[in-house]
Structure 1
Amino acid sequence: MNPVKVFSWSLLLLCMSFGDVVSADEGDDFFEKRIRPILVKHCYDCHAGVNSEGGLLLDTRDGWRHGGDNGTAIVPGQPDDSLLIQAIRYEDAESLAMPPKEAGGKLSGEEIAALEEWVRRGAPDPRIAAVKLGGMTAEEAKAWWAFQPLPNADPAPTATKIDAYLDQKLAEQGLTSAPPADKRTLLRRATYDLTGLPPTSEEVDAFLADESPDAFAKVIDRLLASPQYGVRYGRHWLDVVRYADTAGENTDRPLPHAWRYRNWVIDALNQDKPFDQFVRLQLAGDLIGAKQPRDQTNEGIIATGYLAIARRFGHDIDEQNYLMHEDVIDNLGKNFLGLTTGCARCHNHKYDPITVDDYYALYGVFESTRFAFPGCEPKGQPRDLISLASPEQIDALMQPWNEKVAAADTKKKQLEQTAAALLGFRTENARPLVDKTLVAEGTSVPFANLTATVRKGEVLQLTVFPNESHGADSTRVEWTIKEEGEAGRTWNVDNLIDKISQGNPLADHDEATWCFLETTTGPISLSQRYDSLQNNPALKAWKRFDDALSIFVNTSDQPVDVWTTLPAKAFFVHPEHNRPVTVAWISPIDGAVTISGAVADAHPSGSDGVAFDLVQIAAPQYGAGLIEMGKEAAAPAIDPGPKPKLPVAYSVIDAKPTNAKIQKRGDPEQPGDEVERHWLTVFGGTSIANPQESGRRELADLVAQHPLTARVFVNRVWQWHFGQGLVGTPNNFGSRGQLPTHPELLDWLTAEFVASGYQVKTLHRLILQTAAYQRSSDPPTGSLDADPENHLLSHYNLRRLSAEEIRDSLLFVSGQLDLAPAQEHPFPDESTWTFTQHTPFNAIYETNKRSAYLMVQRQHRHPFLSLFDGADPNASTPARETSTVPTQSLYFLNDPFFHAQAAATADRLSNEENDDQRLQIAYRLLFQRQPTASETKAASAFLQNYPAEASEKWRAYVRVLLAGNEFLHVD
C-alpha cells in the first residue's frame, strides 16, 4: 500500500478518536466568551492579584496550575478529579463549597456546565502573566529606582554640589532659602547633632573668636573626634536594630552580656570603621574573625550581638524560634536594605519583589546559626553564650577554682565512704521502736512509754520522711529519753533549743550527744550553721546545703510568723524531696530508758503530711562513727567559692547547616517544600556557595556590597542631620515607601560614600559643610505655604531634643554627668533567676552615665524614655516621634530627678557674688549666651516675688529655665 495513503488514514483515525480536542484558537475563544466572565464575576474578589484565599489564584493560567493550599485545583481533561469543579458543584458543602454563601452562593447550572466543559476540553487559557517576583513583575523590579546601580563617583565632591541639587529644587518651586544661622546657633546645632550634648560657653567663645574660613570645619573635626560622637550615633543605630537589654519573651529575662554589642557599636563608629565592614561584622563577625588574633576574633563575635538581640517570643522560646527568625529577617530587610522582607513569611510579598522562597532561603541561613539563649520560664538560665577567652586563658582562670573543687570533692567522698560504712552498722543492728508511721496533714502522732536497753555509744534515731510532699512540711518534734533507776536522768530535744548553734554533734548534759543528719542513703552530718532564717535571728538551723532540708528551732518565747506560724520555744525538722532528715541521740549510759514524744505536721499546706520512724541501733561503733564524722564535717569547709565568671558574649555562631522548609501560611506545623539558601531573587538569587557554613559569611558580603544598602544608610545619615530623609520612609525603599525628594542627590551622595571607602565621618563632613545645613531655622517668605513639611530644605528644621539629649543635658548643666563609658548593668545573678510570666523581670537602674547606657527593657520601657518618645525596643525605630502631652509638663513639675538636677545647677551658681552674675552664668551654662534686658527684668521680678529663701528662689528659677523651649529645642 502507498505509504502516503497509510499515513493519511492513520491521521484521520487519530483525529476521529480525539474528536473532542479543540484547536488552540477555538479553546481561547471558548475561554474568553464563556469562562473569563464567570471567573471575573464570581472568583476574582478572593482569588486574584494580592488576594489569594487558600493560596489559590485564578487570574492567570500559572495561578491555577500552581494550585492552592489544598493541592492542584484543575486537572485538565478530568472535571471529576478537579477540586475546582468539586467545589462549584457543592459536592461537600460543609468543607469545600465555592463561591461561599456570603459571596453569592452556588453558581447557576449553566455556569457550572460551562466550567465543566472548559476543564473537559483541557482547560485552555490564553492568560499568560508576566513573570512575577512577589508584588512586582521582573521588569518592574528591574526598573525600580532603588535597585539601580550607582552613578560614577564625582572626582572632586564638595558640599557646594549638594547645595546645587537642593537649590535647583527650590528654584523650580520659586522658593528662596533662609540666610545662614548665627555662629552661636550653628555651634549649638552641630554639637548636639554630633555628640548629643550642648557646647560649653568656652567652646562658643572660641568659635566666635575664630574668623578663619575653616573655623566651622575645625569644629566638625573636633566633634567627630570626641568619644561622645560614638555615643550619639551609636544610639541612632541602636534605634534601628531595636537594641534591648531584655529578651522580650513572657518573663522578659535580662540579657546581662548584650552591653558588649552596644559598646561595640559605639566604639566602631568612634573608630570610623568602614560601613561595609560594620555591616559584615554584624552578620558574620564570628566567621570573619575566626583564626584571627584574639582581639579581632572577639570583636567579630561581639558584633554578631546584632543577630542575638532578636526578640524572643512566648513561654518556651525554643518552640517559637520561628518568630525569632522572622524578627531577624524583618530587621535585616528594614535596617540594611530598606525592604519589608518579613512580609513574605506567609505569602509572596504583595507589593515588593520578595517571594516566600526568598524568605525561607534567608530563614535557612539563620536556622543554620546557633543563637545565644537568654533563658525562659521552663528553661530558666541562659546557655550557648560565646566564650571570649582562649583555651589557655580559660585554663588559667579556672585552675585555682578547679583545685579547690577537687579538694572539696575528696572530702565529700571521704564523708560518703564513712556514711556508707555506718549504714552497714545500722542495717545489721537496727531494732524498730516505732515502725514508719504517717503523720497526716495538720495532725500529731504521739509515742509514749517505749522502753529500750542501751549501752554506751548505742544510738536512738528518729527520722522524718517527706512522703510525696516534696519537703513542703515543717515538722515539730518533741522527744524525751528518761533513764530508769536511781539516777533517773532525762534528755529532751527542748533542752537543745537555746544551744542549737553550739555545734553538730551537740553535747548535752551527762555526756549524751545529739547529731543532726541527712539520711538519704547513709548518715551525713548537717554541717552548715544558720544563725537566722528569713532574716529572723530567733530561728536558727543546721543544714547540709542551702536548701530546705534542715534541723531548726524557734528560740523565741513568742510564736514567729514566717512561712507559717511557728510556736514558741520549739524544735523542728524539715525534710526535702526524697531526702529524709534525722535526729540521733548517742547514749552515755548502760541501762534501760523510757522514750516518749510526738511528731506533728507544723505547716499544713495541702500536701500529704510526713512520716517518721524510731529505731535503736545497737552498735556502739555507729555512735562513735557519727561523732567522728560530725567532727570531720564541722572542720573548716573547703569552699571553692563562686565559679570564676569567664568573659562571654551574647552572640551567635554557626550550627549544623540546613535548608529550611516553607511554612505554609507561616505555620511551622505545616511544612512545605525545602528551599535552597540563596540571596534575594530580585538581586540575582545567588546560591550559598559553601553549604558547609550557615551562609552568613556570603550573605554579609552580598548585603554589604549592594548599592541599596549604601543608599539606605546614606538616607539615614541625612535624616539624622536634617530630621527627615531624602526618602521619607527610611525603613521602606519599596513600592509602598515614599519616593525620594531629590533622587539625583541621593544617588550622588551614595556614590561618594562608597567611593570614600564607606567612611561615615567623611559623609558627615560633606553634609555639615553645606549651606543647607548652616541655614537659619526661620522659614523664608512663602515656604510654609509651598512646602509646609520643608522637604526642599529652604530652612533648617527646628527640633526638640530627644529623650536621651534632654536627660544628658540636665546632668551636663548640673555637673553630674559621667562621660566615661558604661559596661554591664547590675542584674541579679543568673543562678538566682526565678522569673515567670506572672512575675517577670522588671527594674530601673539609676546612673549618671549617658542615657545611651540606660538599661533598655522590652516589656516595661524606662518611664523617662517612654515619656519623651524614646525608641521602641520591640521593633525597628527608623525615626523618633515627637509628641507633646500633658504628662511631659507634669514631669517638669514633679519629677525628683528633674528637681535634683535643677537644684544642683542652681547650687553651681551660689558662689557668684550677686543675682546679676548668677543670671549671666546661668544663661551661659544653659543657653551659651547672655540674657537680654527683658530676660534680666523678668528674672529679677521672679526672684523678688517668689515666696522662699534665696537658695530655693534660684532653684525654682532654674526649673523654669530648664523646662523652657530654648533649653529643650535646637534651632
Structure 2
Amino acid sequence: ESPHFGERMARHWMDVVRYTDTYGYEWDNPAKGSWEYRDYLIRAFNGDVGFDQLIREQIAGDLLPRPRVDRSSGLNESLIGPMFYHMGEHRHGDNIRINGVREEMVDNKIDAFSKAFLSMTIACARCHNHKLDAVSQRDYYAMAGMFMTPRWTARSIEAPGRNRALIDKLKRLRDQIAGQLRKMWKPQGEKFATEIELALVKPSEEADSENPRLALWRKALGDSTGKKAKAADLASDFASATGLDGLKWLVSRLVSAPDDAAAENAWKQASEQWRQAHTQRNRKNRADFKVLADVGRDGWPKNWVIEGDGMRSGRVVDGTPLIALDGKAVVQTLLRRGYHTHSLSPKLPGAVRMPRQQDLPGKYVSLELAGGEWSGSIRMADNAFQTEAVKFFDWQKSRWESFADIAPKNGIQRLSYDLVTSDLNPNFPPRTGVARVGARKLPDKDMGFRKRSWFSVTGVVTHVQPGQPADEMTRFSPLFDGLPPKTARAAFRRIGAWLAMAVDDWAGGRPDGDDVQVLNWLLSHGLLQNVSAEGTALAALVENYRAAERAVPFPRTVNSMDERAVVPVDYPLNIRGSIHDRGPNVPRRFLQVFGSQKADGPRDGAGSGRLELASFLVDPRHALAARVYVNRLWQWVFGSGLVRTSNDFGRLGDRPSHPELLDYLAREFIAEGWSSKRMIRRLVASRTFRQGGRPTEKAMAADPNNRLLHHAATRRLEAEAIRDSLLAVSGRLDRTLFGRSINPHRHAEDSAKRLFSGPVDGNGRRSIYLKVSIMAPSKFLVSFNFPDPKLPTGRRDVTNVPAQALVLLNDPFVVSLADRWAGQLVSEDHSTPEARIEQMFVRALGRSPRKDESGRWVELARGLSDGGTSRLMDDRTVWKNVAHTLLNTKEFIHFR
C-alpha cells in the first residue's frame, strides 16, 4: 500500500510509452502537460485502476461518455490519458513548410501504440506489407486515419464544476460592484451637460478651482485652454476620426465659431459628414461581409468548438464591468457583448477552434479581437502543433483580424485556426525567440505557465475579398438625431445630454455596444468616478472580488485529443512509403488480421474509431492486450518476461518460455478486473519469486541462461533506483509525490534550447520527477542505461562499463551525498567504529557486516584518520570517504 508503488510502476510504463518532458529534434520544446501524465499514472497505479480502463483512457480518453474524475484534485483523469500520443520526438513546422512532417508524426504514434498495447511492429508496414507479420500497408494507413482524425491540441483537464463555486462567487461580486457603480454614475451623468457648458463657454481659473472636472472635460474634448485645438491634434474631418475623437473636431469649430450661425453650420457640417460615412460604410459592410454569428447573443457558429472555463464563463452582455485586479481603480473597462476569457479572471483558460477552412464560407474569416499576455492565434495543418505559424495578441482594444484560406499542398487534408490563451496553446512556449510582440520577447527561462493570458471575441464575419468591416459610427446616431442646435452653448448641452444618455442606459440595465464605447471614453478621461473611498461598501466588494480572484487556481492543461465537430480523415496510402507518391485514401479501421471490418472501427463513418478500437482491445473474448501487459508485469517482477521481447510478439520476437502460463495469467488478470496489484501480489507470493539465488549444477547444465527461472538471479538496480537509493541512504530523499519536473544538474547550460541546470541533488526528489529532456537527459541516469526517450522501450539494456564506476566515484551528486551522510554519522552517538560500520551496512546494504568485513572497514577508517579513536569518530572527512567507498561497492547497486 506504499504510495511509492505508483511511482515505480509508472516509471516502468513510462519506458513503454516513450515518456518525455520535451519534444527534442532541434529545439527541444517543452511537452505541455507531460508531468500531468506522469502524475496521472502514479495515481492510477496507486489506486489500482484496472488496466482495461487505462487502455480506454490512453487511446480514447477524450471520447469516454463517463470520464473518470479524481475527487481529491478535481481533475478529469480520462482526458489526461491521450497525452500518451504526444510523447516522444516531434518535428518542428508542418507540411506547408516541410513536406513529410505529418507522416513522421503519425508514424511515431502508430509505432508507440502497436508496441505498447499489442507488442507488434505495425510501423514496419509504412512502406510495404510487413515482411514477417500479418500486417499490410493498407492496415498501417487505415490506422493513420484513426489517429489523424482528432485534433492534436491542448485540453483543460479540470473536471466540470471544479471552479464553479469560485466562478459563481466572482459573478455575484461583479454584479454587486456594478450595482454600486450605477448608484454613483447616474447622478454624475445628470451633471454632464452643465459641466461641459461651464467648461467650454467661459472657462476660468475660479470655476476650475470650484469644480476640477471642468479641466478634465476640456482635455477630453480637445480644448484645454479655451481656444481652438491645434490642427495637428485633430482628424481631417469628423468622419475620419476614430472612437469619440470626432468630438474634438466638432468642439474645436464650436469654440472658435464667431457667432451662432457659424456654430450651427459647424454642427451641420459634422452631422452631414457622419451621415454620409455611416450610410456608405453600412452599405459596404452589408455587401462585402456576412455575419457568421452574433457570438454574444447567439453563441458560436456551427462546428466552432470552445474550450476552458475562460470561454464557458466568458460570455457577457454589453456593459459588463471588468474588475481591476490591483491599483485604485474599480473597473479596468466595460466589456462589449461577446466572449472574454478574462471577464472574471485572466487565470481562466480559453480556446476557440474553428472548423477546417474548406468548411467555412468565403475565402476569409475576420474576427473582432483583443488579447494579451501571450494569447494568440495558431494555424494548424494536419495536427502539426509544433508549427511556428502563430501570432501573439498584445492589444487592449478590439480590432479586426483576418484569417485567409491557404492553398493546401503536400497532401494536407485539414487546415484550421485556433484562438488560444497561452495554457491552451499546444506549442507554448515555442522555441526561443519565436514568442515576441514587437520588442517584447518571452525570456528563455520562462517555461510558459502561470500566465494571466486572455483574449476577447466580439464579432465574426466571412468575406470573399480582403478587407475588414468599417466602423459605421452608430454611436453618434442619437447625437445627430433631430434638428441642429442653434448656438454653441446649446451644442455643448446636446453633447452632454448624449453622453449622459449612455450612462442612464447602463444604469438602467439596457446598454448597447455604442453605450459601452461612450462609457469607456468617459472612464479613460476620468469623467466617471472609478475609485472607491476607503471604508465604503464598494471598497469592501472590490477587495472581496480580488481575494476571490487570487484564489482561482492557474489552469491545468495537457496536450491531448479533441474530436468534437471534426470531419473524419481517411489517410492516403503512400506508395512505397513515399511522401511524393500518394495513392487512394484508406478507410479507417483496425488490423485485418484481427478480422477488422466494422465492429472495431468507426460506426457509420463518423468519428475516428479510437473508442471502438479501445473497446476491441479490452474485450475479454480475446486477451492479446492482457497477455502483453501481464508479460510486462512478469518482466518488471522477475527481470525478464515470459516473452523476452516484450515489445515484439511477432515472428522476429522471442518465443514464450511458458506459453500456457502466460495464457493462464492473462485469463486470471481479466477475471480479477485487470488489477495490476492483484497480479503482482500473485507473482511475488509464488514459489518462483521466493526461491534462493544459488543454482544447482544440474539446473545450470540444463538451463545455463536461467530462462526457466530455476533460481533468483542477481540483478542490478535500474538507474532511477540507484539514484533514489543514494538519496535515501544519505537522508536527503524527499518523498513528496507529484509536481512539475525538475531540471537535472548540468555542467553547461544552453539557453537557446532551454537546457538549464537544476540543483545537484534535484532538491532530493525521486528520479521519476527529474525532467526527461530528449536532447540532454540526466547524465547520471544515462550512465546506468536510462532508455532513449525518443522510442518505446520494452526492456532496458543492462551494461557494465567503466563510465558507471567513474560516475559513482566522481559525480558531484554522489560526492555531496557521501558528505551529507558523513555529517549525519558524526552527529550521532556511536560507541565504537564497529557500531558505526554496523549501522552503515544496514542502511546501505540491508544487512549487517560479517566479522571479517567489519574489521576491514574499521581498518580502512583508521587508516584514513591521523588521530585516536575519539578523533576518528568526529572526523567528517574520514567518514565521508568511508561512506563514499561503501556507495561504490557492487552490492550497493545490485540485489539478489
Q: TM-score, normalised by structure 2?
A: 0.54
Query: How far 1:659 moved relative to its partner?
Result: 1.7
SS at match of 2:146: helix
Residues 243 and 873 in structure 1, CA contact (< 8 A), matched pair in contact too? yes
Partner of 1:583: none
Once the two structures are superposed, residues 133-183 of structure 1 have per-residue CA deviations (whole angstroms, 9 ceiling, x without a partner) of: xxxxxxxxxxxxxxxxxxxxxxxxxxxxxxxxxxxxxxxxxxxxxxxxxxx
Partner of 1:923 in structure 2?
Answer: 841
> Aligned pair 1:275/2:184, yes or no?
no
* C-alpha distance in 2 between matches for 1:827 and 1:419: 53
1:291-306 aligned within 5 A: 298-306=76-84
- Mapped to 2, the partners of 1:694 and 1:303 lie a distance apart of 16
CA contact (8 A) 1:312 1:321 kept: no
Structure 1: how far apart are the matches of 2:610 and 2:124?
21
CA 823–292 in structure 1, closer or farther in 2 if over 3 Å, else same: closer
Q: Distance in 2 between matches of 1:733 and 1:388?
A: 38
Change (3 A) 1:420 1:389: farther
Instruction: Confirm whether residue 952 of structure 1 aligns to residue 877 of structure 2.
Output: yes
Give structure 2 stretches of 5+ with no counterpart.
186-214, 235-393, 396-436, 441-522, 533-541, 867-871
Query: Secondary structure at the residue paired with 2:820?
Result: helix
What's the offset of the Cα at 1:290? 4.8
- State yes or no: 1:704 paired with 2:613: no
Alpha-carbon shift at residue 718 of structure 1 (Å): 1.0
Q: Give the superposition deviation at 1:969.
A: 0.4
Amino acid at match of 1:308: H
Residues 80-130 of structure 1: CA deviation (Å, up to 9, x unaligned): xxxxxxxxxxxxxxxxxxxxxxxxxxxxxxxxxxxxxxxxxxxxxxxxxxx
**Aligned equivalents of 1:879 and 1:921: distance in 2?**
35
Indicate if the aligned counterparts of 1:779 and 1:794 stay in contact, CA closer than 8 A.
yes
Using the alignment, how far apart are the partners of 2:669 and 2:159 within structure 1?
36
1:260 maps to 36
Distance (whole Å) between structure 2 residues aligned to residue 292 and residue 745 of structure 1: 33
Partner of 2:752: 839
- The match for 1:337 is 118
Question: 1:324 matched to which residue of 2?
Answer: 105
Q: 8 Å contact 1:289–1:297 — kept in the other structure?
A: no
Task: Tell me the amino acid that sits aligned with residue 742 of structure 1.
Answer: H
CA contact (8 A) 1:814 1:901 kept: yes
Number of the residue aligned with 2:91: 313
Cα distance change, pair 317–837 in 1 and its aligned pair in 2 (3 A): farther
1:693 pairs, out of 580, 603, 607, with: 607
CA contact (8 A) 2:822 2:880 kept: yes
Please say if residues 808 and 814 of structure 2, whose CA atoms lie closer than 8 Å, have aligned partners that are also in contact: yes
Question: Which of 666, 672, 675 matches 2:586?
Answer: 675
Equivalent residues of 1:659, 1:675 under 8 A apart: yes
Q: CA deviation at 1:823?
A: 1.0
User: 1:856 & 1:922 partners in 2: Cα distance?
Assistant: 32
Distance 1:925 1:392 in 2: 44
Query: Where do 1:549-564 residues align within 5 Å?
Result: none
Does residue 242 of structure 1 match 2:12? no
Residue by residue, what CA displacement relative to the aligned partner does 1:202-221 show, whole Å, maximum 9, x if unpaired?
xxxxxxxxxxxxxxxxxxxx
Q: Does 1:652 align with 2:433?
A: no
- Alignment partner, residue 881 of structure 1: 797
Equivalent residue for 1:572? none
* Contact 1:418/1:629 (8 A) holds in 2: no
- Equivalence for 1:135: none
Aligned counterparts of 2:731 and 2:750: Cα–Cα separation in 1:
41
Pick from 422, 427, 439 the counterpart of residue 231 of structure 2: 427
Percent identity between the two aligned chains: 33
Deviates more, 1:668-677 or 1:719-728: 668-677
SS state of the match for residue 772, structure 1? helix
Residue 722 of structure 1 and its aligned partner are, at CA, apart by: 1.4
Q: Distance in 1 between matches of 2:575 and 2:603?
A: 27
Residue-by-residue CA offset, 1:509-535 (whole Å, 9 max, x unaligned): xxxxxxxxxxxxxxxxxxxxxxxxxxx
Q: Which has the larger radius of gyration?
A: 1
Query: Do 2:20 and 2:789's aligned partners in 1 also have CA atoms closer than 8 Å?
Result: yes
Shift of 1:299: 1.2
Match of 2:142 among 361, 365, 373: 361
1:607-756 matches, cutoff 5 A: 645-654=554-563, 655-687=566-598, 688-705=602-619, 706-756=622-672
CA distance in 2, matches of 1:389, 1:753: 30
Secondary structure class of the residue paired with 1:658: coil
1:346 aligns with 2:132: no
Secondary structure (helix, strand or coil) at the match of 1:354 reads coil
Deviation at 1:647, TM superposition (A): 2.5
Distance 1:392 1:267 in 2: 18
2-structure distance, mates of 1:389, 1:751? 34
* 5+ residue gaps, structure 1: 1-224, 373-383, 431-544, 547-575, 580-627, 829-835
- Residue identity opposite 1:678 in structure 2: R
Q: Secondary structure at the match of 1:842?
A: coil
SS at match of 2:555: coil
Amino acid at match of 2:135: I
Superposition deviation, residue 784 in structure 1: 3.9
Deviations 1:588-611 (A, max 9, x none): xxxxxxxxxxxxxxxxxxxxxxxx
Q: Is the 8 A contact 2:742 2:770 kept in 1?
A: no
Secondary structure at 2:138's aligned position in 1?
helix
> Per the alignment, do residues 689 and 951 of structure 1 end up closer, same or farther by CA in structure 2, a change over 3 Å counting?
same
State the 1:398 CA deviation.
Answer: 10
1:370 lines up with 2:370 in the alignment = no
Match for residue 913 of structure 1 among 805, 812, 831: 831
Asked if the contact 2:742/2:769 (under 8 Å) is kept, the reply is no
One-letter identity of the residue aligned with 1:390: P
Correspondences of 1:69-148 after superposition (within 5 Å) = none
Equivalent positions of 1:24-39 (< 5 A) are none
> How has the CA–CA distance of structure 1 residues 700 and 426 changed in structure 2, closer, same or farther, with 3 Å as cutoff?
farther
Residues 827 and 885 of structure 1: CA distance in aligned 2, closer, same or farther (over 3 Å): closer
The match for 1:799 among 705, 715, 734 is 715
Name the CA distance, whole Å, in 2 between partners of 1:871 and 1:323. 21
Aligned amino acid, residue 739 of structure 1: R
- Are residues 683 and 945 of structure 1, via their aligned partners in 2, closer, same or farther at CA, if it must alter by over 3 Å? same
- Encode CA deviations 1:667-713: one digit per residue, 9 max, x unaligned: 44432111111121000113222533221111111122342111111
Equivalent positions of 1:431-830 (< 5 A) are 645-654=554-563, 655-687=566-598, 688-705=602-619, 706-825=622-741
How far did 1:906 drift?
Answer: 2.5
TM-score (norm 1): 0.50
Q: Report the secondary structure of 1:651's partner residue.
A: strand
Contact 2:572 2:586 in 1 (8 A): yes
- 1:325–1:367 contact (8 Å) kept in structure 2: yes
RMSD of the alignment, in Å? 4.0
Cα distance in 2 for residues equivalent to 1:294 and 1:917: 48
Asked if structure 2 preserves the Cα contact closer than 8 Å seen for 1:728 and 1:738, the reply is yes
Q: CA deviation at 1:230?
A: 1.0
Pair 1:811–1:888, CA change in 2 (3 A): same
Tell me, what secondary structure is at the counterpart of 2:151? strand
Q: Contact conserved, 1:256 with 1:824, CA < 8 A, in 2?
A: no
What is the distance in 1 between the residues matched to 2:525 and 2:438?
Answer: 23
What CA distance in whole angstroms lies between the structure 1 residues aligned with 2:223 and 2:837? Answer: 85
